[in-house]
Structure 1
């Protein structure tokens, strides 16, 4: 017997089975990104007009390099056998103002980089090194992402408020730690949330009060937002999953299987080889050098505790390249104390 389209029910069932087992592409919509201030020099030939400089004193020489305002390992120089390295991670970008009044006060407005919803506003600058800051949740069909805008002079929005791209959030300022009027800027991040049970993890490792709930900086893994702005300018249809997939792995960690990781539930596109996720004794997490999760895959290794299963071969001590989350050199590495705590948070092992 044949169906109306000329195939037998057996063949149709077979084809449907193939479709069901095939990976389902994420229904990601366009990001619709816009810059968070009027400063668009990120796309110019002179990045010093975009990034706010930092004060630096290295081996007795003082300077004020704009490169300290970039994302990545851009601060705290150290001289090593392999040369001078930058070891401190800056998780966002510091954007300098383009307008000031006669008293040198910044006048730039700060805008949302995309449509979303305000999920957190810190209007008590003394409670955070970020000063006054706003967090917006964006959902582009690939799980929630969070843009953060820090050091604001004042905020104009409230938690729960829907937001449109380029809607005003506040005024660029210099609230928070280590900033003065001369270095007024807005610090902007775009991050993945690591755990919705952050408070439980926090209580295990800190005695101080967590003032910011799940929107504490420890719980947000910042992406390279400057590179994303450039990638989006080149290809407005790019998705977050495509952007993250293009990043370079630095290390992998295998952890005991305690159920489907929360990160995988929230960002399903991180899953690799999921057809093998049947009674797997462990999961293997892939990270870039600063700890952004790039992939999660079932593993056949049996482990009782998290362990580094692979690391990028480097002559430089891995501690310098990984915010001190790994130690070791070459193709061998182990988790440091801070690395173990970080893996605990990311994988839900607490």
Structure 2
């Protein structure tokens, strides 16, 4: 049974109710000495309370899509088929260099196109959820190549969070209908390649090559299957929290793939121990440090958003935008209230989609 979804939630509710009824039935029928009866009653109370907490946790996971499967929760999934040492240098790549990749997509929930391919360069066994705008199959748009927004979750988090908790597809469709945004293909990609541990969006020495997966494999797979633009100006990457940091880092290192990036409540310096344990890798994956040290900054556009009540989010955003020099450009968008949560991030989506639309070719 899947970790998220209604069947598992119903099962946990039934389990909690059965335990509660069983406790009520046997409460005054327990045999043995008083000390034994008291101990058994305390144990029953603890078990029923644990079942109730489980129901709450499953509800939260269904709402926020922190974990998509049991292997995600336990951290036992195989992140990659093989690993190679990462490089600490600044990385460059382009869509024109992406090798063609065939991936098998099927229609999943909410009409999403779903695939679980293995990246040909990263060897990461990832997940892709693709939302096609209504215009994609409209005869009036036949032959049109669409812009793409690659969506990255936080840590913990799964690609499905963009379509369940965030309702990104509904927000974009509403904006397109109101002529406030362009029709775009949304591609939510797995980025938590170390399971419950943060992979830091980098090619780790002896670990998964997350940067290669997101900068080379994902664009190649999408280009091989869908009618999308080849122009980097029509490719954007957006994430929230750890995914926001990742989006910025990808654009800084791969301007030939992603011309624009949106960081929703992200940060500048890597926080994943898998990255910070390596000083050279830490410096290479700090977008603020990389931009300050680059003689000629890449031609990218960045939108950094955050809540004024969310720690250093806004100060980090202002520092990064303040470090940009032409041809790089950037903007900061803030909300006055709210913490580090889905409600705030969802509130920022209209601004993000409208901004991305303005920066397409």
TM-score category, normalised to shorter length = under 0.3
Using the size of structure 2 for normalisation, the TM-score is 0.25
Greater fraction strand: 1
Greater fraction helix: 2
Using the size of structure 1 for normalisation, the TM-score is 0.25
